[in-house]
Amino acid sequence: MKRSQLKTSQQVIGDASRQDPVIRAEWDRTAFAREVALRIVGYRTENQLTQTALARKVGMTQSVIARLESGDQPPSIATLVKLSKGTGMEFDVKISRGAVEIVAA
């Protein structure tokens, strides 16, 4: 099989989540955390920072940055404030019907 024929991780998860409500529930539960993780990784990449360098910049430890980048658990509002204050990143958060999401500014 050629590399171009392989499914992306998003496609695999999408297929699985349509077939399994448990997987879908977990995917939905971690959506906010994944979005924050993508923004942090993007910021680090754009600014050529290691996790340690970013941690120092925002007053956290490298292990906290690693956990945030894993996207498994949603960050607290206090954590988002620290990230925003130290980096200038913006997080527009919407809380509705028991769900938390980042919305486009």
The percent of residues above 90 in pLDDT, for the chain, comes to 55
Choose between 28 and 59: higher pLDDT.
59
- Angle, in degrees to the nearest 10, between helices 77-87 and 31-46: 20
Can you give the CATH number for the domain in which 52 is found? Answer: 1.10.260.40
The mean pLDDT value for 56-76 works out to: 95
Residue corresponding to tokens 């954590």: 79
Are residues 55 and 61 in contact, defined by beta-carbon separation less than 8 angstroms? Answer: yes
Q: Which of 9-23, 30-44, 52-66, 91-105 has the lowest mean pLDDT?
A: 9-23
Token duo for residue 35? 């979005």
Number of domains in the chain: 1
Q: What is the pLDDT of residue 8?
A: 75
Q: What is the mean pLDDT of the chain?
A: 88
- Rounded CA gap, 92 and 17, in Å? 27
Domain membership of residue 60 as a residue range: 3-102
Model pTM? 0.77
Residue corresponding to tokens 């913006």: 90
